[in-house]
Structure 1
Amino acid sequence: MAITIGRKLESDYVNPLGMLSDCHRRIEKFLNLLLTVTKQMQGQQLNDEYRTAFATALRYFREGAPKHTRDEEDSLFPRLHQAADAQAQQVLSRLEELQQDHTVAETGHRTVEALGSRWLTDGSLTGEDAQALTEVLELLHTLYQRHIVIEDTEVFPLAGRSLKQEDIQALAHEMAARRGLRLDTQMLPFPRTTNQ
C-alpha cells in the first residue's frame, strides 16, 4: 500500500481556494486509506507497509486536517458572510451546516485517533474495537462525501466570485501562518485590475 506524501498538488498560496480543494483530495485519500486498512485487517496485526500507511493517515487527521477546518471556519467563512450579496444567501445558509459537519467530524476523528493509536501500540484490536473503528470511519466517509461536494461546487466558487483580491491574499497569509510559514507579499502575484 504505497502512499505518496510529497506529491505536487495543483495549487499553492497564490490560489488558496485551490489549496482548500486540494486538501479535500488529501482528506479523501487518507480517509479511504484508513477505511481500506481497517476493513481488510479487521483489527489484526498490521504488516510494516500497512502500519506505516495507517500511521501516516492518522497523523494527517491529527495535524493537517484541523488546520484546514480553521482555514474555513476562521478565515474563509467569515469573509464570505461579509462579501457575498443577496443572491448568495442559499450558499451562505449552508455554512452553519458545514460547521456542524466539522464538529461531528472532529468527534469522529478523536475516536479514530484513540482506536487507531491503540491498534498501532498494542498490535491488534478486539473485534468490538475493530467494528467500532469501521463504523466511525464509514460515518466519516459518508459525511465527507456530501460535505466536500458542497464546498467544492458551491462554497469555493462563491468565494472566487465574491471575495476581493485583498481578501484572497489575507486568506493565503492566514493559511500560511497556520502552517508556520510567512509569505512575502511579493510571492503572491495577484493580477491587478485597472479601470481604463
Structure 2
Amino acid sequence: MINLDTLGREPGPSFDEPLAMLLACHDKIRRFCDQLEALPGHIASRGVDEAVQGSIDGVMRYFDQAGPQHHSDEEEELFPILLERVPEAAPRLERLASEHGYLQSCWNEIRDDLLALKKGELEAVNPTEIGEFVRMYREHAEIEEQWLIPTAERTLSADEQRAAGERMAARRQR
C-alpha cells in the first residue's frame, strides 16, 4: 500500500501557476489511481485491515473533492477560452468534458462499494470496475498533458493565467 503520510502532501505549484498546478494534480490522480488499483489484491490477501481503511479514506477524499475541482478548473477556466480562440478544438473539448462526466459516474459506483466495504457490508471490490476507472483516468490525463495544457499555455496570456489561478483559488474558498 502507498504511504498515506506523504501521499499528495509534497509542495507543488500554487494557484500562481494554474497550468502547472493542473499538471501536478495529474500526478496526484495517478498516485491515487495506483492506490485504488492496489486495493483488490490487498483485500484478497489481507482482508479489510487498517491499511485498507486508510486507503479508502484517502482515495475517497481525493476523488470526492479534488477530482471534481480539477475538472471544474479545466472546464471553467480553459475550455471557454479555447473554444473561442481555437474553434477547431471543439470536438476535443467536448470529448474531455464527456470523459469528466463518465469518470464521475464510474467513481460514484466505486465509491458506493468502498463505503459498503468500510461498513462491512461488502467483502471485496470489483477489480474490473476499478481497472476501467484507473485506465480511463490515466488515458484522460495523458490527453490533457499532451494537448490541453500545451494548447492552453500557447493560447492564454500571462494575465489570463493569473486570473484563472485566482478564480480557481476562490472556488476552493466557497
Q: TM-score, normalised by structure 1?
A: 0.80
- Output the amino acid matched with 1:168: Q
Larger-gyration structure (1/2): 1
Distance 2:144 2:79 in 1: 11
Give the corresponding residue for 1:95.
93
Give the corresponding residue for 2:109.
111
Determine helix, strand or coil for the equivalent of 1:46.
coil
Aligned 8 A contact 1:83 1:163 in 2: no
Give the corresponding residue for 2:138.
145
Judged with a 3 Å threshold, the aligned counterparts in structure 2 of structure 1 residues 126 and 51 are, in CA distance, closer, same or farther, namely closer
Aligned 8 A contact 1:112 1:137 in 2: yes
Which of the numbers 50, 53, 59 marks the counterpart of 1:51? 53
Distance 1:43 1:16 in 2: 41
Q: Spell out the pairing of 1:76-87 with structure 2 (5 A cutoff).
A: 76-84=78-86
Determine helix, strand or coil for the equivalent of 2:74.
helix
Give the corresponding residue for 1:7.
10
Q: CA shift at 1:50, angstroms?
A: 2.6
Which of the numbers 155, 165, 170 marks the counterpart of 2:158? 165
Larger proportion of helix: 2
Tell me, yes or no, if structure 1 residue 125 matches structure 2 residue 125. Answer: no
Q: CA shift at 1:49, angstroms?
A: 2.3
What is the count of residue pairs matched by the alignment? 171
Aligned 8 A contact 1:69 1:102 in 2: yes
Unpaired segments of 5 or more residues in structure 2? Answer: none
Q: CA shift at 1:38, angstroms?
A: 2.0
Give the corresponding residue for 1:37.
39
Give the corresponding residue for 2:74.
72
* Identity across matched positions, percent: 25
Unpaired segments of 5 or more residues in structure 1? Answer: 182-196
Determine helix, strand or coil for the equivalent of 2:60.
helix
